[in-house]
Amino acid sequence: MIFFIEGSFQSSAKTLIAEADIHIDSSPVSIGALTFTQRDFPPAPVRVSGTLKNLIPNTRYHGFHVHTFALPEGDWNCNHVGAHWNPFNTRHGDRLDSIDRRHVGDLGNILSDSFGNVYIDFEDSIIQLHNLTKSSILNKSIVIHKDNDDLGRGNHDDSHTTGHAGALIACGNIRLLDSVSTSKSAINILWPFDLNTKDFYNIYNGVPLSSVSYVSSPVSTTAVHLRSSLKQSIAVTQPSLNLTRLSFTVQCWIHPMSLSTYHNTILAQCQNPSLRNCLHMGIRNTTLYMNYYDETLQSKSILKPDNWYHVAFVFDAVSLQLSIYLNGKQDVTKKVSVSNYGTTDSITIGTSYITRQHHTHFDGYIDQLSIVSSARSAEDILLDATSIQSTSIKEPMENSNVIVDSSLSTNCQTQNEIIQQQAKVIEQQITMTKNVLQMSMETVSQMWNQQQDQRVCKSNIQSLPSHHDYTPPNRVWCPWKEDCTQILDNRGRMTIEMDQQLSVPFELHMSISEQPINRSYIVHFSIDERQVSIYKTINNITTSIHQTTNNDHILYGEKGKYWLSIDYANLFVKYGQGEVRDRCTLIKTDVPNIEQDYIRSIKYAHISFNNSREIAHLKKFENKIRMKVGKNPVVDDPALIVITPDQFTIDHQQNNTVIPITRLDSHCQALYHDVIHWRFQDDDFSYLYEAIEYSISNNKGWCHQKLIEKASRFGGRNLRATYLRITIGRNRGTSPGVPYVLEVWPPGHYSPIHSHGNTYGIIRVLHGEVNVKLYRTLNLKKKEPIHEATIYENQVTWLSPGLNQVHKLENKSPNKSCITIQAYEYVANDVTNYEYFDYITNDGQDIKVFDPVSDIDYFEFKKIIMEEWNNKH
């Protein structure tokens, strides 16, 4: 019998699922289960996944194979499973080898950690689940060996038959699951909450409890408003919803008005007091929370009241993966042990009927709540989170927060009913803050811009760099969650960045083929603690391009950032460390003209760590390594000086000495326009800069005294390693500290080498001049600047995530202070932000954290300086 899972209304593709309960040799004691999944009929690959526990011996690699026979009922002796499954009578080999160089049953090695835990998750294109194929592994055994499989490369007598993998220590029969009717209808439910609680398809219609109300929504027409104080909710009693062994996705937009320390339920199917029979999704302790029967999952990101959020809760019955998404980005995920049989209890929206001392009611707005019986992809969820429905709007009513959508009415009577309902909404919302819609639309606008960026990234059209051609790689690649092969956005033009918190040797293979074993054309890059190598393979012939053991080029002994860039148009391969920019290039190799068509065809990146592509082996790096893919090659370096487009000349373009503000990210553009016209010397006090100079030179001046007070701020006492931070406005939570800062640099004073925590920033020189030194990274062993420039009075420089982030500012003038106005802002789509600056201490021996606190508010500072100046005169 076969377990099929329907894909959607239109799709006829089905999924085959088999399982193997793994037990210790000669014992019925189970150490876990493995799942085998084939999403379509041959030749689709089979995914092998699962978690095993308490395997002995641990902390070692174990051979992992399919053997010929399944054990009879009641027989636990793994030695009865026969030889490797080898229907084509070939030699033993690696899982990555072709079928003529491996057994069908050769699945390589798995790794057991110090606790005896094994995490398995990979795909294999040789084994099959369909019984009509010769490579079928149904009714065979999966076996774990005691020792490492030498993959047929060893010199032992049994290397070519078993890989010298040793005794059989655990095994299990591979069986197909029970069948589910393939005619089962897909579930598709949508509550749009357009002034009612009905299902869009008129099947799962809700009944409002305690007279719910509605508010205008930036997502559609209206959203339902549930008040926890009135215990308002929605019940869906008929028909019953059965999600037994099904994938599903629950999505909606929410706008919490308040957040309790308990449950704020969005949707639940939970009338039994036991959580074991409860499907529950909502907010708990200000974070998204999901209860999937025996399993729970809680997100990391903290929600705040009075904000719109797009949320999605996903269960994949194939991979047994639970996931929570926030604003289109996966926030947390977890693998569960089994797909639950579910419940047929009633659905509740805005509350849960589970017996508790406290309430479980949601307080706020919910819009576009949907349930579908499929695990939607991350790409689809991002699209849902950033696509705003287009509404047909008629003449708005007096209250700007209420909109009549003509698509909701088909005749005058219906229109009249809607207007009457709208009038009730106006009465209920008369005290509502008028700017809710405006704030919401700003949030949605930001997400819409993010979606447009994503769409541009996914374009395969080869073109010249865009306006933001200096943007570092920004598409995340997670080999431990996805695949060790990545499809690139642009053929022959790309940059791959790897940020390691733990030093791990790795290899990148940039290929024209999706198959890692295809050796038609590959550019290889490898790095470890001893050397860096760039080499190429053309039609199975491999030649070295560049190799070095330079200590500045090899793998750091600690955390570090590495990148590889390829450009068919300019015929180069570049390798660098630190920021992704040309000044950080360590190796550049030229590609011969005759290979241009080859390199232009590169479409795939294959990654391996410590010579391994086994996802089970890579899981341990999940929180230690972050990889990103960019569509642009590293051609040159962005200029530091910012000017307006009307100042930009052909000479500027040729010499790359300045950059127009329009070429920077929109966040930098906004900060630039915030401060570019600010005047600090005005009719009220036209001697401010001169007065600041006086306060610095006067032993009793406020500036002089404050600088002495701060002499030990960055480590050992050093008066010159000080400057003044005078803030303008309040900390709005959009930047590290207050976003606008007037900084004063006396002659000869400087900052430590410091990092700006991946923020956007604009620095405008008001008075004097400042020297800027840029560094590839914040590292005690790499303190040589990569670039140095002087920013003069009335000039502007910039920083953005990944560029110009690590610098040192210094006033080299012997007699004139430098005064700058600086503006900073976090990355808009980051859920959590780093609120500090890291810096190297004055003695150069340590990296510490700087909290960007204010020395004084600007208007208070100005008052003090004016008094000092007036007293002098």
Total Cβ atoms within 10 A of residue 149: 28
Looking from the CA of 22 toward its CB, the CA atoms found within 13 Å total 26
Cis peptide before 208 (omega within 30 of 0): no
Residue 235 backbone class (left: φ over 0; alpha: ψ -120 to 50; beta: rest) = beta
Task: Give the pair of three-digit tokens for residue 316.
Answer: 């994949």
Beta pairing partners, 787: 774
Q: Is 754 annotated as a binding residue?
A: yes
Type of residue numbered 298: Q
Cβ atoms of 476 and 526 within 8 Å: the answer is no
What six digits make up the tokens of 206?
């809700």
Q: According to the annotation, is 756 in a ligand binding site?
A: yes
Sign of CA dihedral 577, 581, 584, 586: positive
Do 643 and 658 meet the contact criterion of CB atoms below 8 Å apart?
Answer: yes
Element (H or E) spanning 869, and its range?
Answer: helix 858-872
The answer to whether residues 809 and 771 touch, using CB atoms and an 8 Å cutoff, is yes
* CA separation, residue 78 to residues 27, 28, 71, 140, 280 (Å): 9, 11, 8, 12, 42
Torsion of Cα atoms, 101 then 127 then 612 then 560, to 10°: 140
- Cα-atom radius of gyration of the chain, to the nearest Å? 31
**Is the Cβ–Cβ distance between 517 and 98 less than 8 Å?**
yes
Measured distance CA(574)–CA(582) in Å, rounded: 9
**Hey, what's the torsion of the CAs at 460, 461, 467, 473, to 10 degrees?**
20
The CA distances from residue 618 to 126, 146, 331, 464, 497, in Å, are: 22, 21, 20, 36, 17
754 contacts 840 by C-beta, under 8 angstroms = yes
What six digits make up the tokens of 465? Answer: 């760099």
Buried b (16+ CB within 10 A) or exposed e, 21-35: ebbbbeeeeebbbbb
Q: Is 807 annotated as a binding residue?
A: yes
Phi, psi of 99 (to 5 degrees): -65, -25
DSSP output for 416-458:
HHHHHHHHHHHHHTTTS-TTHHHHHHHHHHHHHHHHHHHHHHT
Q: Are 144 and 63 in contact (CB under 8 A)?
A: yes
| Residue closest to 465 by CA, chosen among 567, 358, 533, 556 | 567
Q: Which residues are annotated as a binding site?
A: 754, 756, 807
Q: Which residues are annotated as a binding site for Fe cation?
A: 754, 756, 807
